[in-house]
Amino acid sequence: MHSDSSGLSALVNDCYQCGKCTAGCPLAAQMDIVPSQLVRLAQAGQVERATRAESIWLCVSCQTCTTRCPQSVDVAGVIDALREQSAQDGTVAKTQRRTAIFQQVFLDNIRRHGRLNELELVGAFKTQAFLKDLSIPLLMKDALLAPQMMKRDKLHFAGKPARDRQVVDRIFAKCAEAKV
C-alpha cells in the first residue's frame, strides 16, 4: 500500500461518492469522519485532515466498505494508508494515541517473534503509553487480571515459538515491498 499522498489520490480517483462504503460500515455511527468522507478528503488533496480523524483508528479492517464499492476503490486499504501516514507524521488524534501505540507494539512483537509474546506486548504497551501520558492508573490498570489470565492459560511468561517463522517473515517482506 502506498502511503504518500500522490499514491492515495491514485487509489481514490474512481470514487463518485455514492456512499455505499459508509452505509455498510459497522462503525460509521461512531466515526467523526465516515469512510466516504475520508475518500473525498484524499481526492481533494486534504490528506492531512484525514490523518487527524479519529475514525481511521476506529476502523476494524473488516473490508465491508471495499467489497461494497461499485468502483472497486479499496476503501479499507486507503484507511490503512491513512493510519500509516498519521503515525509517520505525528498527526494521530489525541483520543486515539493509545490505539496507535497498541497497533505499533503489536506489529513489532509479531515481527520479532513470528507470533504474539503476550507479556512483552503488555510491557511494551504500558511503558510507551505511560511515557506518553505519564498516567500511573494506566500503568497499574489490568495488573490484577494477570493471575486469573495465567490460570486460564491466556497469558504466558514465555512466548511460544512460531510454527513456521519464515511465513511471517515473508508476509512482512511483502508488505514492505508493497509500500515502495
Find out whether 14 and 72 touch, Cβ atoms under 8 Å. yes
What are the DSSP calls for 77-135, one per residue? HHHHHHHHHHHHHT---GGGHHHHHHHHHHHHHHHHHSS--HHHHHHHHHHHHHHHH--
Among 4, 10, 13, 18, binds ligand SF4 (CB under 6 A): 18
Output the smallest distance, CB 177 to ligand SF4, in A: 23
Determine, following the binding rule CB under 6 A, whether residue 69 of this chain makes contact with ligand SF4.
Answer: yes
114 touches ligand SF4 (CB under 6 A): no
Q: What is the total count of residues that contact ligand SF4 (CB under 6 A)?
A: 28
N-to-C CA span, the chain: 8
Q: Return the residue of 10, 44, 60, 167 that touches ligand SF4, per CB under 6 A.
A: 60
Question: Does residue 61 interact with ligand SF4 by CB under 6 A?
Answer: yes
Residues that bind ligand SF4 (CB under 6 A): 15-21, 24-27, 35-36, 39, 59-65, 68-69, 71, 73, 75-76, 79
